[in-house]
Amino acid sequence: MTLKDIADRLVDGCRTGKELENLGRLYHPDAISVEAADYSGEGREVRGIDGIKAKHEWWNSAFELHDAAVEGPFLHGDDRFAVIFTVDATERESGKRMKMREVAIYHVPDGKITREEFFGIG
């Protein structure tokens, strides 16, 4: 797969609710995911597909999603791409509703995503 193929599949999966399916197809088994902050209390960095799956499961259990949008992908050279995520969600524990926007940078050196980094946008 080309970088564009991987980027398009990731974005399509995010739009259609197939994020977890994409982990096995698009990610290297030892991929690293880095959040902008330690939201879960487990640290900012997660290693491996199982850790990234657990991060998705935590998010789904901790937040009620009202709306989400995905912009991109935006290709950068032959080994990276970016995606902009906009989320409207309520934290289940506190009942606090929040709107978030972040950009994610995906590193794809050899046909698989090896690193994803999330940056909060004002």
User: What residue ranges do the domains of the chain occupy?
Assistant: 3-120
Alpha-carbon distance of 39 to 77, in angstroms, equals 31
For residue 53, which amino acid is it? K
pTM for the full predicted model: 0.92
Q: Work out the mean pLDDT of the chain and round it to a whole number.
A: 94
Q: Nearest Cα to 1, choosing from 32, 27, 34, 33?
A: 27
Worst-scoring range by mean pLDDT, 7-11, 12-16, 17-21, 26-30?
17-21
The topology under which CATH files domain 3-120 is Nuclear Transport Factor 2; Chain: A, (3.10.450)
Average pLDDT over residues 21-50: 90
At 64 the pLDDT is 96
Burial of 43 (0-12, 13-18, 19+ CB in 10 A): exposed
At 20 the pLDDT is 87
Q: Nearest-5° angle of CA 28, CA 33, CA 37?
A: 180
